[in-house]
Amino acid sequence: MSDESGTQDTPAGSPEGGPRPEPIRFFGTTWVDHRGGYALRRAGVAAGSLAAAVASCLILRFAYEGLQIADTGSFVTVLV
């Protein structure tokens, strides 16, 4: 076992060729050889992050418009 990562350097049944990669969230180890729906998962993660960015921009816009409608004063305007 490797002292740093807690994984085996050579898994059972594999030649002594070197260390194996650690799995990554959502992708496992398919990023090494791009199998098992890798392209679909990659597109899904990209679309999800884009949707999260758009949603956060809308929330910030609505919050700013709410402050403008409320006419909170100069102190809050300076803070924003």
Going from N- to C-terminal start, the domains of the chain cover 1-33, 37-79
Distance, CA of 13 to CA of 19 (rounded, Å): 13
Structure confidence at residue 50 as a pLDDT band (50, 70, 90): very high
Average pLDDT over residues 69-74: 85
This prediction's pTM: 0.58
69 or 14, greater pLDDT: 69
The single-letter DSSP state of residue 16 is S
The single-letter DSSP state of residue 58 is H
33 or 57, greater pLDDT: 57
Distance, CA of 59 to CA of 66 (rounded, Å): 11
Distance, CA of 5 to CA of 50 (rounded, Å): 32
